[in-house]
Structure 1
Amino acid sequence: MAVSPPPARSLPLTALRAFEAAARLGGFSAAAQELGVTPGAVSAQIKALEEALQAPLFDRRPKQVTLTALGARVLPGFTEAFDQLNAATRRLRAEAQPSTVHIATLPAIAQFWLSPRLPGLRAAMPEMAVSVTATEAPPNLKRTPYDLCLFYGGGLGTAIEQDVIFPVCAPAMARQLRTPADLQYVPCLSDAVWAQDWEHWLQAACPGETLHLRGPEFSLYSLAVEEAVNGAGVLIGHQALVAPLLGSGKLVAPFAERASLPRDLRLWSLRPSGPRSPAARVARWLAENSQETR
């Protein structure tokens, strides 16, 4: 009687994915962020993989991990394989949901720039379903399900608008401000994402002057904007984001001085698509209606 040998045990896909991400990104924390798990989970998955292989893939040091020679040799093959797997997954998703477009963008851009335009987009393309994910950094489009990215900076895709900044505040507070020097006597709001905004504007508007500004910092730009509307202080506004609030009169610009940062609000995709694809149509509509809420 023929005896069938037991099948060889395959290595777990989740552990292989954790290894590839950690190796490509240079650490367990970065891999965890990309995979949406904890660093401890990534560490445990890689440890289990090493035990199954009976060979180390990383050299572990305090606050640092580096690839072993074995890990470095096999990484390119796994990166290529997971790129192909993710490309196939994206194609499957696109075929299954041909009228759905997924957009990744900064929280502030999602709230102040993109959200006011979504009603017009739905009216123009009622057959289209647009989902929006707010994230603090552009995602790796090879490893995520997003079709479009909308962020400041970089040289990809379509430039929507240059990033122009200037102080904004509620009308009542603006009456206390005649020159930039008056900013020293009112709260100057800032946010953690664009912590250098005040410095950039002061260099352009008041070269050679030293002003001592004070005020609270917020973890989200949207919170800082709301507090500026509420009269809590003066905030550096990004033109593309605060234009509707300026148009409604909820915020005003107390000074004429503007500073142009060396970056644009840009819309892009890394995936090739024809001009009639859902992502291309949505991107074209957003570019053509970038000034709609002004």
Structure 2
Amino acid sequence: MPVAPPFSRMPSLNALRAFEAAARLGSFRHAAEELMVTPGAVTAQIKALEAEYGAPLFQRQARGVELTALGVRVAPGFIAAFDALGDAVRELRRHAAPRKVHVVTSPALAQLWLAPRLVGLRAVLSDVDISLTALEEPPDLKRTPFDICLFYGAPDPGCATLWDEMLLPVCTPALAERLVRPEDLAGVNCISDVVWQDWKIWTAAAMPTGHVVPTGPGYSLYAIAVQEALAGAGVLMGRQSLVQPHLDSGALVAPFDLVVPLGLSITAWMLPESRKDRAVIAVAEALRDAAGGVKIR
């Protein structure tokens, strides 16, 4: 009877992905977020990999996880392998769908900055299929199917600055009639984003001897906060690029002539190999033109 050779099968690709992500990010939780699974799933995959080879790859500690000596030794090879796999997948996608460009950005920028410009972008780039995904945090482009990242960030030589963001309180014209000095903000609702520290940044620069504690409702979606300001619910700390259309229309006004730099800019970046992709470069340059910014690197 034929004898099957004792070839070792490859371990689960999902287990290898879990190990590589956790080793690179230094956290099972961060790996789970990147892979869009639960931390428990990452833990289970890595336990299965350790059991298959009979050696621990991570030390579990109260403050988190840390690679063992074996994990440190083998992690670079897996990171390089998944880098190469990512390059191959992007090359496949680039040739299979050469006119598709996938932009990833934050929810606020997607809803209030990019969405209003999509009609103009598509008119200029009629032969390019632009898709848009919103994520809370910038992804690792080497591990995701996105072509261009558009997020708030500090100035960086590797990114193009499209807009230097400014802060200014905004409200309806009726509410503005009650506001003469910044100190008058103490008597009205001050709407805030629950994550951003914009009120603190603005008051530190505009009211060095005073402060404003937002007393109005807080929202995790800035677009809802803008709608509340439009409804007259209070004064919103506006990011100028996101509220400018409403200022232009007169639906919102700035009661004080006090504009403060946020310290962050709308930035765009891509992987180096994307510079060879004509469709990606066309979208990047169109974003620059839409923002009036500088040349995309």
Q: Same fold (TM over 0.5)?
A: yes
Q: Distance in 1 between matches of 2:9 and 2:259?
A: 64
1:1-294 paired onto structure 2 within 5 Å = 3-154=3-154, 155=156, 156-194=158-196, 196-274=197-275, 277-290=278-291
Q: Distance in 2 between matches of 1:229 and 1:7?
A: 67
Distance change >3 Å, CA 250–CA 68, structure 1 → 2 = same
Shift of 1:48: 0.7
Q: Distance in 2 between matches of 1:109 and 1:250?
A: 20
- Is contact 2:199-2:212 (8 Å) kept? no
- Is contact 2:204-2:211 (8 Å) kept? no
Q: Distance in 2 between matches of 1:276 and 1:86?
A: 16
Letter of the structure 2 residue corresponding to residue 269 of structure 1: M
Structure 1: gaps (5+ residues): none
SS of residue matched to 1:131: strand
Letter of the structure 2 residue corresponding to residue 202 of structure 1: T
Distance change >3 Å, CA 209–CA 140, structure 1 → 2 = same
Q: Could you tell which deviates more after superposition, 1-10 or 276-285?
A: 1-10
- Is contact 1:50-1:56 (8 Å) kept? yes
Structure 2: gaps (5+ residues): none
Letter of the structure 1 residue corresponding to residue 216 of structure 2: G
Q: Distance in 2 between matches of 1:70 and 1:211?
A: 53
Shift of 1:4: 3.4
Q: Distance in 2 between matches of 1:55 and 1:213?
A: 53
Distance change >3 Å, CA 276–CA 141, structure 1 → 2 = closer
Q: Distance in 2 between matches of 1:6 and 1:73?
A: 26
SS of residue matched to 2:102: strand
Q: Distance in 1 between matches of 2:193 and 2:2?
A: 72
Q: Could you tell which deviates more after superposition, 176-185 or 273-282?
A: 273-282
| Alignment coverage as a number of residue pairs | 291
Q: Could you tell which deviates more after superposition, 48-57 or 212-221?
A: 212-221
Shift of 1:274: 4.0
- Is contact 2:147-2:274 (8 Å) kept? no
Among all aligned residue pairs of Structure 1 and Structure 2, give the percentage whose two residues are the same amino acid: 52
SS of residue matched to 2:141: coil
- Is contact 2:167-2:239 (8 Å) kept? yes
Root-mean-square deviation (Å): 1.7
Shift of 1:34: 0.3
Q: Distance in 1 between matches of 2:175 and 2:239?
A: 19
Letter of the structure 2 residue corresponding to residue 86 of structure 1: G
Provide TM-score, normalisation by structure 1. Answer: 0.94
- Is contact 2:189-2:215 (8 Å) kept? yes
Provide TM-score, normalisation by structure 2. Answer: 0.93
The runs of 4+ residues in structure 1 deviating greater than 6 Å are none
Q: Distance in 1 between matches of 2:187 and 2:203?
A: 16
Shift of 1:6: 4.0
